[in-house]
């Protein structure tokens, strides 16, 4: 989001925190908001009407209430009212805002259940699994496979292996991607989970697994360098050939043997 939409989502987010102190309430709020985001994504006319700045905020709020009354909880309606009353650069930003609030509510539920670290790790690991399993990716992105079939597939694969919050968000990314790829949705959800504690996410590629002590020392060094806590997603990658590479956002810290060898080879042929 840019400009006025970014300011609007910040204002609406401030209303979310008091509603997510209880894990059950946060989970229900998240589920309700995801359902609303799905409706907005599937009904362009409604989305445009709720974002239409030529109509007064009171009219947009009244429309949201008429659509949602009796279908979702009061807390959900109050948040969607705030979204409808806000200003958005494009109608799609309104849908994205509702989805973002939903994910933040589910992340808050995970935190209340002491599942936040698991949630971050499981979203990342599932993304890696999908990247290395073409048949699974094809099934989850197949537009001709029903949403219920995708839900059942993910439940069979993950129900006893990940937290309920992870399963909910992974399922949402596969079933209702809101115009994004599965990978992008998983990355966005992981980013929101990390932001819950104002942490950065570092993807670390190493030739051999890191010990607990090495992970602790690396996280501490990165936290000192970046001024934030850093969550490590560690990938064992034989191509690194010693050392490691660390990517945080768009920044790559490359300390691998493979990288140094590549530089040396380029020097030989220069």
Instruction: Write out the two tokens for 69.
Output: 């009354």
Sign of CA dihedral 222, 228, 229, 234: negative
Q: How confident is the model at residue 78 (pLDDT cuts 50, 70, 90)?
A: very high
pLDDT at 222: 86
Cα-Cα-Cα-Cα torsion 69, 70, 71, 74, nearest 10 degrees, comes to: 70
Q: How confident is the model at residue 53 (pLDDT cuts 50, 70, 90)?
A: very high
pLDDT at 200: 76
pLDDT at 31: 97
pLDDT at 163 over 70: yes
Q: How confident is the model at residue 228 (pLDDT cuts 50, 70, 90)?
A: confident
- Give dist(CA 95, CA 88) in Å, integer: 10
% of the chain surpassing 90 pLDDT? 61
pLDDT at 216: 86
- Give dist(CA 145, CA 115) in Å, integer: 31
pLDDT at 23 over 90: yes
Contacts of 12 (CB under 8 A, 6+ apart): 79, 82, 83, 86, 97, 101
pLDDT at 172: 95
Q: How confident is the model at residue 232 (pLDDT cuts 50, 70, 90)?
A: confident
Q: How confident is the model at residue 269 (pLDDT cuts 50, 70, 90)?
A: low
Query: What average pLDDT does the structure give for the chain?
Result: 90
pTM of the shown model? 0.78
Cα-Cα-Cα-Cα torsion 249, 236, 238, 267, nearest 10 degrees, comes to: 30
pLDDT at 256: 78
Least confident among 19-33, 202-216, 240-254: 240-254
């Amino acid at each position: 989001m840019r400009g006025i939409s970014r300011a609007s989502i910040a204002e609406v987010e401030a209303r979310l925190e008091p509603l997510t102190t209880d894990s059950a309430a946060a989970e229900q709020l998240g589920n309700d908001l995801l359902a609303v985001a799905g409706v907005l994504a599937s009904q362009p006319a409604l989305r445009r009407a709720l974002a239409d700045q030529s109509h007064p905020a009171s009219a947009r709020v009244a429309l949201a209430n008429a659509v949602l009354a009796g279908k979702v909880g009061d807390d959900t309606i109050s948040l969607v009212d705030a979204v409808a009353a806000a200003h958005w650069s494009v109608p799609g930003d309104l849908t994205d805002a509702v989805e973002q609030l939903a994910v933040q509510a589910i992340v808050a539920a995970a935190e209340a259940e002491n599942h936040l670290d698991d949630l971050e790790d499981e979203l990342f690991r599932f993304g890696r699994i999908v990247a290395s399993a073409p048949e699974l990716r094809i099934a989850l992105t197949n537009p001709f496979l029903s949403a219920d079939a995708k839900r059942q597939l993910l439940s069979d694969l993950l129900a006893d292996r990940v937290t309920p919050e992870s399963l909910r968000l992974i399922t949402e990314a596969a079933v209702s991607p809101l115009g994004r790829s599965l990978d992008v949705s998983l990355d966005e959800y992981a980013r929101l989970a990390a932001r819950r504690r104002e942490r950065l996410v570092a993807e670390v590629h190493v030739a051999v697994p890191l010990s607990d002590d090495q992970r602790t020392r690396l996280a501490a060094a990165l936290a000192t360098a970046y001024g934030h806590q850093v969550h490590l997603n560690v990938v064992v990658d034989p191509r690194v050939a010693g050392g490691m590479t660390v990517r945080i956002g768009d920044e790559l810290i490359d300390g691998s043997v493979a990288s140094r060898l590549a530089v040396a080879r380029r020097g030989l042929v220069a």
